[in-house]
Amino acid sequence: MAEKDLFSQVNRPEDPDNMTDLEKKHLPVIDAPDKASAGETIQVSVEVGKLLAHPNEPAHHIEFIDLYEDEVYLTRADFTGGKVNPKVTFEVMLTKGGRLRAFCSCNLHGVWEGDKLIPIE
Ligand SMILES: [Fe+2]
C-alpha cells in the first residue's frame, strides 16, 4: 500500500480502537463536559500528544490548535516549538450543540482532527 500523503487531507485515526503511534501522537484530544446548557460557558481543553508524546522542538512541533463547533470557527492557539506544550484550555459558549472539532497542524505530519459530541440541553 502506498504511503499516505498526510498533507493532502485532514487526518483522522482509521480505527479509533487500534490507533497507530503516528495517530496517537497527533490526535487532538478534547476534554469537555458531556453536555451543556444554552448560553453556558464551558471549559474545553485540547491536548496533542496526550495518548503518546509528540516532539516539541523548532524542527518538529505542533503549530496551532483550532477549535470549531460543527462548521463554525471558534478560536485558535499558536505554538512555537519552544518550551510550551501543545495543550490549551478555552472558555466557549456553544450555540447549537453538536460536534466540537479540534484541528492541529504538525509542521512535518499535516493537519489532524479530533472531535467530541456536546449536546445542548
Ligand atoms: Fe508530528
Distance CA 104, CA 59 (A): 16
Cα(109) to ligand 1 centroid in Å equals 5
Burial 10-44 (b: 16+ CB within 10 A, else e): ebebeeeeebeebbbbbbbbbebeeebeeeeebeb
39 dihedral zone (left: phi>0; alpha: psi -120 to 50; beta): left
Residues 62-75 have pLDDT tens digits of 999 999 999 999 99
Cα(48) to ligand 1 centroid in Å equals 10
Strands 41-48 and 87-93: antiparallel
For the cut 60, the answer to whether the pLDDT of residue 6 exceeds it is yes
Cα(20) to ligand 1 centroid in Å equals 13
List the chain domain ranges: 19-92+109-118
Cα(77) to ligand 1 centroid in Å equals 17
Cα(98) to ligand 1 centroid in Å equals 28
Fold type of domain 19-92+109-118: Immunoglobulin-like (2.60.40)
Distance CA 33, CA 100 (A): 11
In whole numbers, what is the pLDDT of the chain averaged over residues? 94
Cα(59) to ligand 1 centroid in Å equals 10
Cα(121) to ligand 1 centroid in Å equals 37
Query: Is-contact 65 74, C-beta < 8 A?
Result: no
Mean pLDDT of all residues in 92-104:
91
Distance CA 84, CA 91 (A): 20
Q: What's the predicted TM-score (pTM) here?
A: 0.93
Cα(4) to ligand 1 centroid in Å equals 14
